[in-house]
Structure 1
């Protein structure tokens, strides 16, 4: 595993354990945030191969919280883990592209009005308007996670988009990006990307990361902001 990917895996796993009920099982960092939330999962930190004992302990943790055993790995860790995951009944359920951006080379500052939000519940409500019905509970948890910085973009004085940022071990994670219906295509997402990259650089981060669905409009905006495809994030869930 090369250094940027190892750095990304470690930072994401560390950040994943903030808030909720946290537990570690070898290289897995698991968290449970509440019934039925997709945030209930584990991250592989890239530090060591996954063992059957690690998986059994994580599965017991998941069962104790009445949630499916779901874990995220970056692509370089998958080859070693796949035989064990298959034997334990896990199936690939989701793939995201993982992008990184060297913060020594920043895009132009945003031209739209982008500002920090100090209202987590208001931010979550706006974010849910962009993500769609049923997302507000998740975004409320995201908004209250320790270390999360919240941003809002405005178009002509009207809230148009939301996004979040957190810094871990020199890596700035960009997430929670949402554009409100009727205000898409006006540059809100591009402005939120640029604003967070500049903010992360100002706070001493050297690398920024963001995940995107392959082929999505968000991915096109991410590439235009100067991010490069670094690896894949693969999500596995145990059947039954």
Structure 2
């Protein structure tokens, strides 16, 4: 089924609104968050609609300087070309690209039997770090402590095998934080985690689900098999020098 024509615009608004738990400020269409020293969550999201201005970026850069962080902005693909000349002029460079996939939640995959929601936030964070690598432990702990984030664990042979997170904002579900323990890979863990969160999102009243993924990875193939459609991309821009 084709995605709604406003799907990417809805995603942009929801992404920009989804970080209310962090210290936040608005600069035109940007919503900026600070979650703690040195964390990759310290960034800004373009909510769509308005165009970026020099004043918006100058104010955001001052916010970043206050928190001793490099200015980092995430843009969905429709906002990239209008913003690119201004970003280049202020010293921003593209520092990351993820594919944006969407699912309209009208045709769900089978409900999994070995994935459950968990209230053990610290245990979830520790399990996630086993999949992502121990250097991710601090970030995953911050993610887990967000009260609006729902956490899921998949098991194999009665043992935790993988983890993932879900947050619903404005009827748009964000699926993120999916990891699998190295010894459990290739056993359908990601497929179950995707399916469980799609069902949970639909029950929570979401009408659209989103996930961002590195292009060309096994995770991208799993996402396509789960019924997601490629809708665009999210590009990240970092200012590596002072404007």
> Mapping of 1:130-145 within 5 angstroms?
130-145=131-146
Instruction: Indicate whether 1:125 and 2:126 are aligned.
Output: yes
Distance 1:45 1:145 in 2: 21
| Alpha-carbon distance between aligned partners in 2 of 1:87 and 1:203, rounded to the nearest angstrom | 43
The alignment status of 1:7 with 2:42, answered yes or no, reads no
RMSD of aligned Cα (Å) = 0.8
Q: What pairs with 1:228-239 in structure 2 (closer than 5 Å)? A: 228-239=229-240
Q: Secondary structure at the match of 2:230?
A: strand
> What is the alpha-carbon distance in structure 1 between the residues aligned to residue 110 and residue 216 of structure 2?
24
The residue that corresponds to 1:19 in the other structure is: 21
Q: TM-score normalised to the size of structure 2? A: 0.96
Question: Residue 134 of structure 1 aligns to a residue in which SS?
Answer: helix
Q: State the match for 2:63 in structure 1.
A: 61
Q: TM-score, structure 1 length as denominator?
A: 0.97
Distance 1:193 1:4 in 2: 19
CA distance in 1, matches of 2:199, 2:127: 23
SS of residue matched to 1:22? strand
Q: Which residue of 1 aligns with 2:109?
A: 107
Residue in structure 2 matched with residue 168 of structure 1 by the alignment: 169
Partner in structure 1 of residue 33 of structure 2: 31
- Report the 3-state secondary structure (helix = DSSP H, G, I; strand = E; otherwise coil) of the residue aligned with 1:24: strand
Q: Which string of whole-angstrom CA distances, capped at 9 and with x for unpartnered residues, describes residues 35-66 of structure 1?
A: 11000000000021011100000000001000
User: Out of 20, 43, 46, which is 2:45 matched to?
Assistant: 43
Alignment check: 8 A CA contact 1:18 1:145 kept: no
- How far apart are residue 109 of structure 1 and its match? 1.3
Q: Give the Cα–Cα distance (whole angstroms) in 2 for the partners of residues 146 and 133 of structure 1.
A: 23
State the 1:144 CA deviation. 1.1
Structure 2 residue runs of 5 or longer lacking an equivalent are none
Question: 1:97 Cα shift?
Answer: 0.1
Aligned length: 237
- Unmatched tracts of structure 1, length 5 or more: none
CA contact (8 A) 1:153 1:160 kept: yes
After superposing on structure 2, the runs of 4+ consecutive aligned residues of structure 1 that deviate more than 2 Å are none
